[in-house]
Amino acid sequence: MSELQGKNAFVSGGSKGIGAAIALKLAEVGANVAITYSKSETEAARVVQEIEAKGVKGLAIQADAIEAENVIKAVQKTAATLGNIDILVNNAGIVKLKSITESTLEDFDCITNVNVKAVFAATMEAVKSMPSGGRIITIGSVNGDFIPFPGGSLYAMSKAAVQMMTKGWARDLGERQITANIIQPGPIDTDMNPADGEFADRGKAITAIKRYGKPEEVAELAVFLASPRASNITGAAINIDGGFTI
């Protein structure tokens, strides 16, 4: 498959988990892919090696999303190295689970800086030169709509915020034929929430299919939304959660 041949993609937080799966799937269908990472240069280098093994260009940029300026510079470096960004995937994010009785203003600032402000900053910078037919894909969470556990208020707030920003961008950019959609995963088997972790039994019990999803399943949806086949889909919040929210 080469339906994204010659396109340039930027995937924040692309060194592992869902981000890495998306980056590799985009490369598989022909896109050049830049990823950001916050800590592990080794993991990022491995993903770039796998990207380039598919016959496309790969790039890894260290950019901790706690500072929006880091993300802006990463977008600028990608555009300077690969060319204008056709596909922006806002994937980087963090989880903080604390009751309101335990939370601090520092917790609020941290989660909003990474999960909201950095997403806004990357999109603001990328769309300055994004061509017609561009794609903005944000990785949110079903917890932006649904919180079946205590301690999730800050995380849920951040994911609800990016959902509504994404819908607003669909309006802002529609006349340029740029689409903006948000993917909202439920329990997915990653380092952040492993299928054998402390929340696993509870998560599986709530899903209709009684299992965690795989990063590759999220990647398939992301690549579809990035493709010409999804040109009439914008402003959508799409759950991929195994029936977690039904």
- Residue 1 pLDDT: 61
For 189-219, write each residue's pLDDT tens digit.
998 888 888 888 888 999 999 999 999 999 9
Buried b / exposed e along 141-167 (16+ C-beta atoms within 10 A): bbbbebbeeebbbbbbbbbbbbbebbb
Nearest to 67 by CA among 47, 38, 46: 38
Which range, of 147-151, 154-158, 224-228, averages the lowest pLDDT? 147-151
pLDDT tens sequence across 17-72: 999 999 999 999 999 999 999 988 999 999 999 999 999 999 999 999 999 999 99
8-state DSSP, 113: I
pLDDT value at residue 193: 86
CB atoms within 10 A of CB 198: 8
The token duo for 123 is 């999109």
Q: Are 114 and 93 in contact (CB under 8 A)?
A: yes
Q: Is the dihedral of CA 161, 163, 175, 78 positive or negative?
A: positive
Amino acid 198: pLDDT: 81
User: Which of 135, 139, 165 has its CA nearest to residue 9?
Assistant: 135
- Confidence bin at 122 (pLDDT 50/70/90): very high
What does the buried/exposed string (b/e) look like for 67-104 if buried means 16 or more CB atoms within 10 Å of the residue's CB? Answer: ebebbbebbebbbeebeebbbbbbbbbbbbebeeeebe
- Asked if residue 37 lies in contact with residue 15, where contact means CB atoms within 8 angstroms, the answer is yes
Residue-wise pLDDT for 151-198, tens only, equals: 999 999 999 999 999 999 999 999 999 999 999 999 999 988 888 888
Kindly report whether the global pTM for this prediction surpasses the value 0.85: yes
pLDDT of 2 strictly over 90: no
Q: Which domains does the chain have, with CATH numbers?
A: 8-240 (3.40.50.720)
The catalytic residues are 155
